[in-house]
Amino acid sequence: MTGLKQRLQAGEQILGTMVTTFTSPDIARLLQNAGFDYFIVDCEHGAFTTREVANILAEARGIGLPGLVRIPEMRREHALKFMEMGAAGLLLPNTESAEQARMLVDCVKYAPLGHRGVSLSRPHTDFKKVNGVEYMKQANENSLLLCQIESRAGVEHIEEILAVEGIDVAFIGPNDMTQDYGKLDQFDDPEIVAAFERVIAAARAAGKFSGVHFGSAAPLKPWLGRGMQCNLWNSDAGLLGLGAATGLAQLKGD
């Protein structure tokens, strides 16, 4: 399986969705069958237990679908725990400074890039006996780290955030961003468009990647053609509602 980072480096666009509600490990297989490239379990807003996340990630690893986690906040125990469970990477919400980005790298990456604790007989190695030095180097190279840009401060510091070694993606949260700008859901507002464009330009200049999460396809589609490679569309609950509404309308003749 080619990793997400390698696919991005090859110029591919990858499209995932957010797991917000469903705790069954089967959600990973359902999303893979639907055609998604990856998913992110939402542990910022979602009510998942650590065991539920561990089970979902275990299923995802078994079928070769990268599963990431949006951690609740920048704390070592969150970053370490989910990586030990076998997450392919992490999304840090509301990143506004290079310091936050450096903390994320420090907790996720092994030395010399960071200070991740070393415990190799875990789900992230599939409980296999590995060569520590080789494995840790590979883990550093493959793990994908996303900083979510959700505020004016995040946009203003985007160049500094992306200058942090180990950060791969500037990932926009459009709802919180537009709220912070006092323009909730006004995605076509010139100031919001300029903020998106600054993030894309900063990522390109740093040799890194950008992306965004939209619940609907319409506001996401234009950004697919404007340089955003690592994106999310909708969620597990949203996709259920979308499919049900479409089918019911056909059956009821609406």
Per-residue pLDDT reduced to its tens digit, 148-206 = 999 999 999 999 999 999 999 999 999 999 999 999 999 999 999 999 999 999 999 99
Alpha-carbon Rg for the chain, nearest whole angstrom, is 18
CA angle 123, 13, 238 (to 5 degrees): 70
Closest CA to 101 of 4, 9, 169, 8: 169
Q: Is 115 a catalytic residue?
A: no
- Which one is catalytic: 45, 78, 115, 213? 45
pTM higher than 0.85 for the full model? yes
CATH 3.40.50.970 fits 4-252, yes or no: no
